[in-house]
Structure 1
């Protein structure tokens, strides 16, 4: 990604046009998902995760499973999904899950298997911990351990237990979507740090590995998308003051982008295993398909 320009908010402008809110090309209200479409959103109790859940409801998902540690927030999002849902008899299930506890991740996968015996279309993982202590020597060890446990190990556990459910649905979307971050590429600046940025780099690498393991042979689509600079509860509380003025992107933007990916199936399979941004113009992104494939762009690389 060396040929991109970095905006003030810390995200590279890979497309000339950038969006900070939902726009017609990815508006979930303009999409109708197949009958029986099922989604599990982990980290759905607020902000970006809630935006992902409501986006799938607007697009016509038949079943949405909401998971996270805050069940009260999940119940609120469940009501929001029902209010905006395109399918009248849409089902919404709420399940508590702590990504740092392996047995709980396995348990929610087992519960999902019972709810969706025919398999799952989309797993969307939003859960993450944001910490911004700038210097390694000032960083509390417990922050490193906790952030890594959620952002990287949590992603591994979800992949381990949910990918079989995605691959198990005949003619399903088979989409494993992770809310990543362009901060995974940062080594300098006010938000560069050893805990959030490095754990998100590990998460991105895991997504690339998962794509290589499963995509060609089994049709799994693995996407890692930067959601934009969103004024979430965590980002407002944890971001350096100098960065907060750039937290201007919509919490619904990432969910709409995920719906756009899910609705297009094999037409966007060439984006699997790459780092994307919900702020990029999808029309321009599609026009750059041949260039991206030929140069194997939007991946972590060592330049020699």
Structure 2
């Protein structure tokens, strides 16, 4: 399915429900992403920016929007985001970083709107086995082995943990898959009761909105 087209997304979810008898749906893992490649600002085409927006933002909105009316009351949504969404600006990656940040913030809004669900952003780490990683390292002129690399199984195992009952306290948070799970659990109350691990303005974490 083309995840940037609403009709394709709707058909895909309908197929899943009819084929597997999954009514309602329990979990959604949004994992599609696009990286143009290293481009200087001003040298990346409008078409390339548009593709980043379509895949990294629009597709997430469409998939989540199609999932919600089909979801169980306590369903789980995990968005595979990227550390690039919140790291300091990295030359050549503006379109990817900006669009990943937009999707990350959208998912935080979903978490706020559906508090009974588990809604989490996860950075899968720097995984060498992906097409995106190979493309990135090739373009910036570095060898994969020279960089800190995370095992692809770590990302998968961490995502399973994030969807488990043990991780209920991370709802609405942004997590890196290579973080220590035991430490996260030890800081459960601190994480739950603050703006920690969310996208916000540094230095203004004590701000609270009163409607």
Offset from partner CA, 1:241-300 (integer Å, 9 cap, x none): 247432521122121112112232xx4222111110110111111111122223320111
> Quick check: 1:300 aligned with 2:203?
no
1:76 match? none
**What is the deviation of 1:228?**
0.7
Secondary structure of the 2:97 match is helix
Q: Residue 222 of structure 1 corresponds to which residue in structure 2? A: 119
Instruction: Tell me if structure 1 keeps the 8 A contact 2:32–2:55.
Output: yes
Any unmatched runs of 5+ in structure 1?
1-96
Q: Which residue number corresponds to residue 100 of structure 2?
A: 200
Measured on the aligned residues, the alpha-carbon RMSD in Å equals: 1.9
Contact 1:131 1:238 in 2 (8 A): no
Gaps of 5+ in 2: 205-211
TM-score (norm 2): 0.86
192-201 or 153-162: which moved more?
Answer: 192-201
CA distance in structure 1 between the aligned counterparts of 2:87 and 2:186, rounded to whole angstroms:
27
Q: CA deviation at 1:165?
A: 2.2
Q: How many residues align?
A: 198
Using a 3 Å threshold, how does the CA distance of structure 1 residues 285 and 132 change in structure 2: closer, same or farther?
same
Could you tell me whether the CA contact under 8 Å between 2:161 and 2:167 is conserved in 1? Answer: no
| Counterpart position of 2:80 | 179
State the match for 2:208 in structure 1: none
Question: Relative CO higher for 1 or 2, CA cutoff 8 Å, sep ≥ 6?
Answer: 1
Partner of 2:68: 163
The farther-off stretch of 121-130 and 109-118 is 109-118
Tell whether 2:167 aligns with 1:262. no
1:98·1:104 contact (CA, 8 Å) conserved in 2? yes
Q: Distance in 2 between matches of 1:117 and 1:211?
A: 22
CA contact (8 A) 1:147 1:199 kept: yes
Tell me the TM-score normalised to structure 1 length: 0.61
The aligned runs of 1:53-92 (5 Å cut-off) are none
- CA deviation profile, 1:49-108 (whole Å, cap 9, x unmatched): xxxxxxxxxxxxxxxxxxxxxxxxxxxxxxxxxxxxxxxxxxxxxxxx111222111111
**Cα contact 2:37–2:135 (8 A) shared by 1:** no
SS in 2 for 1:118: coil
**Equivalents in 2 of 1:224, 1:117: separation in Å?**
24
Inter-partner Cα distance in structure 1 for 2:148 and 2:200: 28
**8 A Cα contact 1:127 1:150, kept in partner:** yes
Q: Does 1:209 align with 2:109?
A: yes
* From 135, 140, 165, the counterpart of 2:45: 140
User: What is the deviation of 1:186?
Assistant: 2.9
Deviation at 1:238? 3.1
Match 1:284 to one of 173, 176, 183? 183
**What CA deviation, in whole Å up to 9, does each residue of 1:190-230 have, x standing for no partner?**
5x622110100001001100000111xxx111111000101
SS in 2 for 1:148: helix
